[in-house]
Structure 1
Amino acid sequence: MKQKILFILLTSLFTQLYSQVNTIDFQLSLGPTLSVPKTSELTNSNVSGSPEIKSSINIGVFILPSINYFISEKSSIDFGVGYYLDRFSIEDKIGYVTHKGNRNIHQIQTPINFNFHFGNDKSYQFGIGAFAIFTVAAKEKGDSNVDSSRIDFIDPSDPLVYNNISIGYEKDIKDNYNSVSFGTYLQLKKSISFSASKKGFILLKINQYINAIKNNDTDSDLSQYVEFKNEKEPMTVNLGVGLIL
C-alpha cells in the first residue's frame, strides 16, 4: 500500500515537473544597440559660452541568454543575464574647448520583464520591464579642439596662434558612471520560424537608463566648473534576432 502511494506521489511529481519544463523556453538573442541623440545643457556651471554635451547615434552590440517562462497562453516572463556594449558619439563643449569622441560603455545587464501575448496566433509579445546594470569598463577617445581666438590673453593676430588646435585624448571614464544602476524598457517580440524544427524571434527594445551617470563627480578636474548632474541619462534601442534553444 505504501509503495503504491509512493509511486503515485512520484508519478504526480514528475508529471508536474515535466509540465513546468514545457512552459520554459531557453533563448539566445543578439544584435546591435543604437544610442539615441540627446543634448544636455550644463546650466549649473561657472563657464561662459553655454556649456553643453551632445550625443549622436553610434552602434554597439549585445548578446543575451535568457529564459522565457509562460504563465498562461497570453502572458509570460523574460529573465536573462547578458553583455552589452553601448557606444555614444559625444560632443562636449566647455568654454573654448570642444571634445569630440566616442564613449564605449561595457556592461553586464540583468533584464526582467512581463510580456502580453497578442495576435491571432499569439506570435507577438509586448513587454514592460526593468534591468540592473553592472558597469565593467568605460572609455572615451577623441580629439580636443581649442578655439584660441576666444582666449582673451592671446593675441589672435599672432602668427603663432592657430584658431583651431586639435589634441588627441583617450581617458578612462568609468568613475563617471555608477558601478551599479538601473533602467526601464519597453519590448516588442515577433515569433518566427527558421525551419520546421527551429523557432526564433525578432525584437525591438527601447531602454531608458536611470541613475547611470554620477550626479557629482567631485574628484574630476572639471568639478569646480561643471556639475555633471545636468547630463541627461542615456537612452538606447536594441534591434535583435533570437533563437529558441
Structure 2
Amino acid sequence: MKQKILLIFMIGFLTQIYSQDKKTEIQLSLGPTFSIPKTSELANTNVDGSPEIKSSVHIGAYILPSVNYSLNEKSSLDFGIGFYLDRFSIENKIGPVTNKGNRSISQIQTPINFNFHFGQDNSYQLGIGGFASFLLSAKEKGDTITDFSQLDIFNPNDPNFNNNATISYDNNLKDNYNSVGVGAFVQLKKSISFSTDKKGFILLRINQYFNSIKNNDADSNQFIEFKNEKEPTTINLGIGIIL
C-alpha cells in the first residue's frame, strides 16, 4: 500500500514540475523485461549433488512514468518511479531433488540517470544511472522432482519401482529478499515521431542489481550452509511517448 501511495504521489509531483518548467518533458514508457541466465553455487557442503541454482530467460514487464529535464543541447537528466515485474525460470538442484519453476518478483523502482545526446538532431541518448527498488512480492511456482534411482534405499530392479516422483509447489519468497535494494544501469534511447505533433522513443536498458538478495539464515541443524544467489541482471526493452 505504501508503495502504491508513493507511486501516485510521484506521478502528481512530476506533473506539477512539468506545468512550471517547459525545459521538462513528461514521458511514459512500457515494455517487456528479460533475465540474463546465471548459475550460482548455493552451499559450502559435502552433500552429494553439488547444490546449485540456474536461472534462465523468462518474460516480465514494466511501466515507467518519468521526467526528462534538459540541461543543455547535449545533456539531460531522467528521473521517475515505476512498476517492474521481473520473472526468471529457476532450476534448483540438491542431490536427487530438483526444483523447477518460475519466479516472479514485483517491485517499485525509482531510477535517475544522466543522458548524453548525440546523432542527427540529437535523436539518440546514451544514459547511465542508478535506482532504488522497493519489494512488493516474490513468489515461485513449480515442481519438485525426486530421482529415487540416486538413493541407495531403493532397488531400481523392483518392478514396482518408479524413478521419479513429482510434487507441485507454490512458495512465498518475500523473506528471502531485502525490502529495499539498489542497482545501476546503462540505457540507449532513440527518438521517433508518431505524428507531426506527437513524439516518442524506443528504449534499451541493462540493469544490474546489488544488495537485492539476502543470505539465507544458517541453521545449525542443516547439512547445507546456504550462500547468496548471484545478483540478477535484466534487460528492458520499451516504447515510450512524450506527453
Decide: shared fold, TM above 0.5: yes
**% of aligned pairs identical?**
65
**Residue pair 2:47, 2:223 contacting (<8 A) in 1 also:** no
Deviation at residue 139 of structure 1 after TM alignment: 0.5
Q: Tell me which residue corresponds to 1:24.
A: 24
Q: How far is 1:69 from its partner?
A: 0.6
Aligned mates of 1:133, 1:218 — CA distance in 2: 26
Aligned partner of 2:95 in structure 1 is 95
Aligned positions, number: 227
When the two chains are superposed, the root-mean-square deviation of aligned CA atoms in Å is 2.0
Change in Cα spacing, 1:133 to 1:45, as seen in structure 2 (3 Å) is: farther
User: Any gaps of 5 or more consecutive residues in structure 2?
Assistant: 1-16
Q: Specify the code of the residue in structure 2 equivalent to 1:228.
A: K
In structure 2, what is the Cα distance between the partners aligned to 1:208 and 1:61?
16
Cα offset, 1:192, TM superposition:
0.5
TM-superposed CA distance for 1:215, in Å, is: 1.9
Tell whether 2:208 aligns with 1:241.
no
Letter in 2 for 1:30: L
How much has 1:29 moved relative to structure 2? 0.2
CA distance in 1, matches of 2:108, 2:222: 28
Which of structure 1's runs of 4+ aligned residues deviate more than 6 A?
Answer: 17-20
Deviations 1:141-190 (A, max 9, x none): 00111000111222222333311111111110111111101011000000
Change (3 A) 1:205 1:223: farther
Match of residue 41 from structure 1: 41
Distance 1:186 1:222, change over 3 A: farther
AA aligned opposite 1:66: S
Measure the CA separation in 2 of the matches of 1:19 and 1:177. Answer: 38
Which residue number in structure 2 is paired with residue 188 of structure 1?
188
1:176 touches 1:217 (CA, 8 Å); kept in 2?
no
CA contact (8 A) 1:113 1:127 kept: yes
**CA deviation digits over 1:73-102, x for unaligned, max 9?**
111111010000000000110111000000
Classify the secondary structure of the residue corresponding to 2:121.
Answer: coil
Aligned match of 2:126: 126
Q: 1:17-166, aligned counterparts within 5 Å? A: 21-166=21-166
SS of corresponding position for 2:175: helix
TM-score (norm 2): 0.88
